Amino acid sequence: MHPLQLLLWLTSMCVFCYWGCADSPTQSRQVSQGHLISCNPAHNDFENLSQLVDTTFYLPLESPPEHLIGSCTRLLAWENRFYIVDKRKTRSVFAFDRHGKFLFQIRRVGRGPGEYTEPYAFIINKQARLLEIYDRTQRKILSFDMQGNYLRERTFPWYVKDLIAVENNYLAYSTSYDPGYITHRLMLLSPQGAVLKQYLPFDQKEVDDLGVTNFSCQAGISFTCWRYNTVFHLQGQQLLPAYTIEYGPYSVLDDFFQHDIIEHQMELLKAKGLAHGISDMLETDRYLTFTYMYNGHSNMAFYSKRTQQLLSSSRCLNDIDGVPVQPMKTTYQEYLVSIIWPAAMERNLEMIQSDKFYRKVPVQVINRLKTLLKQTQPNSNPWLIFYKLKEF
């Protein structure tokens, strides 16, 4: 069976596999912050992708000349469709089906009725079955049907960092404290922008929150930012801590964090024994994956909800097909999904065939990648990469 066909039929369980390390995998325990996940960032639980991943699949996205993606700000998957938000270059949203076929492009850039300055937040409103674009410059939300046709716009009186749909309402994230206007990092808002509930109040001394924040919609509503180092779940109108990450030795990243406000926050985290720098968080029903910083290095971390064990590493070589591991963008049927551009793929293929380490990549895998490359041009739309993970 063709690998892409296999991808569409498989609904495999996505947990992780631990091989060959002398130390036992890290476990979590239930505490007031939810499950406290302890890890040892100085120890690499895995070095090769094959220790975690069973198979990789590639899905080239169709590339009509008039609908080429300039960059990928965000990748979302829902109902066997993939949505790519290009906020920087084309200021558009592109939709593809599960086979990579191009469906439509949303682009209504401008300052008039039914237009936006940029797709600052792209919202899949599952309850209303609408696609929505939040334009924070003009403070409005534009609604489209599921075929990308424009329907209407409405005023939305908030200037926020990110926005997602929660049933009939919205959950908004803010980075800046503004007395009398924005006093909390999270707000539950009505469709018209009325405040229903607020969460995580700002310290009034904070001018700007420089932390990275992640919304995850695959397994309900999840939220995290490095200031708390905690993954929160929204249940009804309650924001509850689900997981908190900790490790022993603490290290400030670099001079960027040395000014007074950040240094004070780092000391608070140090006193709690907590890590900082959670980013790229994704959550499904079976696993949690994220990256965090330690001693200036980015560590990949994978947490199994079934076994409550964590595996992390600061380096991971792809010994399956040789392609450097790309940042994870979303999930699809318990697969991790990332993205790569054909030009980068071509350079990687040259490296695979010349680099001594990658010579153990099977010839049939290299031939498969060559075949895919022949179907695309260097300036074509990107490919999606699906990672099927092992159990552990």
Q: Is residue 7 part of a domain?
A: no
Structure letter (DSSP) for residue 104: E
pLDDT, tens only, 289-326: 887 766 666 788 888 988 988 888 887 777 777 777 77
CA atoms within 13 A on the CB side of 338: 14
| Domain total in the chain | 1
Range of the domain at 97: 12-389
Provide the edge-to-edge strand list for the sheet that holds 121-125.
121-125, 130-135, 140-144, 150-155
Q: What is the mean pLDDT of residues 131-145?
A: 97
Q: What is the mean predicted confidence (pLDDT) over 201-217?
A: 57
Worst-scoring range by mean pLDDT, 160-174, 253-267, 375-389? 253-267
Q: Taking the alpha carbons of 363, 364, 366, 367 in that order, is the dihedral positive or negative?
A: positive
pLDDT in tens, 240-268: 888 887 754 333 333 333 334 444 555 55
Q: How far apart are CA 68 and CA 66, in angstroms?
A: 6
Give the span between the Cα atoms of 175 and 134, in whole angstroms.
16
pLDDT given at position 170? 94
Residue 1: inside a domain: no
Q: Does the pLDDT of residue 209 top 80, yes or no? A: no
Residue 87 falls inside a structural domain = yes
In this structure, the strands spanning 162-166 and 222-225 are: unpaired
Residue 253 lies in a domain: yes
Work out the pLDDT band at 15, boundaries 50, 70, 90. Answer: very low
251 closest CA partner among 277, 231, 229: 277
Predicted confidence (pLDDT) per residue in 334-362, tens digit: 889 999 998 888 887 777 777 665 566 77
Does residue 31 lie within any of the structural domains?
yes
Listed ranges 92-96, 231-235, 301-305; the one with the highest mean pLDDT: 92-96
**Residue of higher predicted confidence among 184 and 204:** 184
Using the predicted structure, report yes or no on whether residue 58 has a pLDDT greater than 60.
yes
Better pLDDT: 5 or 89: 89
Asked if residue 308 belongs to a domain, the reply is yes
Model pTM score: 0.81
Mean pLDDT of 372-377: 79
261, 206 Cβ separation under 8 angstroms: yes
SS (H, E, C) 158-197: CCCCEEEEECCEEEEECCECECCCECEEEEEECCCCCEEE
For residue range 106-129, list pLDDT tens digits in order: 999 999 999 999 999 999 999 999
Dist CA 274 CA 293 (whole Å): 12
Beta-carbon count within 10 A of 83 CB: 20
Helix segments in the chain, DSSP class H: 3-9, 260-272, 342-354, 363-374
C-alpha span between 293 and 328 (Å, rounded): 16
Is 24 within the bounds of a domain?
A: yes
CATH number at 164 reads: 2.120.10.30
pLDDT for 47 equals 83
Judge whether 51 lies within some domain: yes
